[in-house]
Amino acid sequence: MLKNFVMPDFYPAAPEIFLLTMACVILLVDVFFGRSQRWITAALTILTLVGCALITYLTMDGQVVLTFSNMFVDDLLADFLKLLVYLAVIFVLVYSRGYLVARQLDKGEYYVLVLFATLGMMVMISAAHFLSLYLGLELMSLSLYALVAIDRNSARATEAAMKYFILGSLASGLLLYGMSMVYGATGTLEIGGVAQALHLGVANKTVLVFGLVFLVSGIAFKLGAVPFHMWVPDVYHGAPTPITLLIASAPKLAAFAMAMRIMVYGLFELAEHWQAMLMILAVLSIALGNLAAIAQTNIKRMLAYSAIAHMGFMLLALMSGVVGPDRHYALNAYSSAMYYAVAYVIMSLASFGMVLLLSRAGYEAEHLEDFKGLNQRSPWFAAVMMVTMLSMAGVPFFVGFFAKFSVLIAAVDAGYIAVAVFAVMFSLIGAFYYLRVVKLMYFDAPVDAAPIVASLDMRFLLSLNGIAIALFGLFPNVLMSLCTYALLRSL
């Protein structure tokens, strides 16, 4: 057996190997220095992510490279999404530092678990095999379950972690069952092998379609799409705000990569089947997300239902890639979906970053009333929040508008005019709860006149975050071109 063993090429997985090594080093460093020098752990964690970004950038050559017995792929799509994941996690770490210190939650395990969750996302993004995809998914999910419960004195956080764990386990079971049916129908777990079996017509399509139902259900859970959304509002509300920020940002990029790898790279021949499923998920998510958000008084729950509606838009773009046998819409639709995912992550970081900015020791700024009169307390950060809310509502000319516009164009081009009109109508309904936050900030008297206390690095990055939302709205082609190019060189 050893004679047939081929040494894998470790070079494409260099960022993952570096991150895993550093996570172990940081664990030991934190034990050695303890609570008094916790800033060293935080700094090392951020430097690790910067190191991963450098390695990813330096090894980026635009070629599609398979390694580890075709279980791991390094392509431009993976490199681009990984760079965005590093950036999002760095923003999360900077935004959350002050909040965690004020509540004695600034623990070494927080940083290590964040790194392991990031490693799981990286493996998911580069998965070319159902086993490596599942491995990455579980590594990310288990780390997030533990992070939700990191505040052991909070009954609400513990309850949220239990709900997330139980429902997440159910979704993992659905995904595994779907993978086993795909294996039974094609005889392979390689995503490329599944596509080849379908193309050659040697796969049992009936069994595959049944497996597809379970796979789509698992993907819908990770994206938080209706009817697999039950965990989203409870986990967003119950988890400490820095963990909510993490769940709401980088994992969305990994879930998008999972959807692309399974449905577009592996099961493209079954597009007519999964398109119908995605249409149901998209329509239900856009409708329920926008309607339920109106009734919320807690901004974390409001943003949770908003996330469900946004994921509905992303699924709308994914389903618009193929019209019957005609595939020339595919690249435009999938780049629109990717652009939407990236735009949502940028907006999500800014919105939860503002919640963290207004929170302080012994005070959670998670109710809509906490934003009253923010313009009188800080005109600049009120403007950042206003830009974020207007962008999420899809008001021109912010990144959220062009994200929605590109998705609607893709849907109309594919002939889904009724669905596009439906999405526009519910976006108008959804604009109400975003504009309500703007109204509270600018037209109501402040309930709390306490000065906003935050570190310089947080203020700088949050300002940069708000400016990015505006600039990518004024120059949308920059981001869209990157998304299109990454997909073009990877499909």
1, part of any domain: no
481, part of any domain: yes
User: Mean pLDDT across the stretch 87-94?
Assistant: 96
User: Mean pLDDT across the stretch 181-186?
Assistant: 93
pLDDT, tens only, 348-364:
999 999 999 988 766 78
pLDDT, tens only, 147-163:
999 988 889 999 999 99
Q: Is the pLDDT of residue 118 over 60?
A: yes
Q: Is the pLDDT of residue 2 over 60?
A: no
3, part of any domain: no
423, part of any domain: yes
Peptide bond into 227 cis (omega under 30): yes
141, part of any domain: yes
111, part of any domain: yes
- Going by pLDDT thresholds of 50, 70 and 90, the confidence category of residue 366 is confident
Reported as type and span, the H/E element at residue 74 is strand 72-74
Tokens of 291: 């309607």
- Going by pLDDT thresholds of 50, 70 and 90, the confidence category of residue 323 is low
Distance linking the first and last C-alpha atoms of the chain: 34
- Find the domain containing 38 and state its range: 8-488
pLDDT, tens only, 291-302:
999 999 999 999
Return d(Cα 412, Cα 336) in angstroms, integer.
Answer: 13
Which pLDDT value is given to residue 327? 64
Q: Are 266 and 199 in contact (CB under 8 A)?
A: no
Query: Any idea how long the chain is?
Result: 491
130, part of any domain: yes
89, part of any domain: yes
- Which among 68, 63, 61 is positioned nearest to 17, based on CA atoms? 68
In this prediction the pTM is: 0.95
Which pLDDT value is given to residue 214? 95
Percentage of the chain with pLDDT > 90?
A: 73
- Going by pLDDT thresholds of 50, 70 and 90, the confidence category of residue 325 is low
Which pLDDT value is given to residue 3? 59
Which pLDDT value is given to residue 421? 95
- Which among 228, 264, 286 is positioned nearest to 338, based on CA atoms? 264
Let me know if 465 is exposed, middle or buried by CB neighbors in 10 A (0-12, 13-18, 19+).
Answer: buried
Can you say whether the dihedral through the CA atoms of 413, 417, 422, 428 is positive or negative? positive
Angle value at C-alpha 318, between 482 and 409, nearest 5 degrees:
75
- Which among 18, 243, 232, 15 is positioned nearest to 110, based on CA atoms? 243
pLDDT, tens only, 431-448:
999 999 999 999 988 887
Q: What is the domain count for the chain?
A: 1
pLDDT, tens only, 190-220:
999 999 999 888 888 889 999 999 999 999 9
Q: Are 152 and 158 in contact (CB under 8 A)?
A: yes
Return d(Cα 60, Cα 482) in angstroms, integer.
Answer: 14
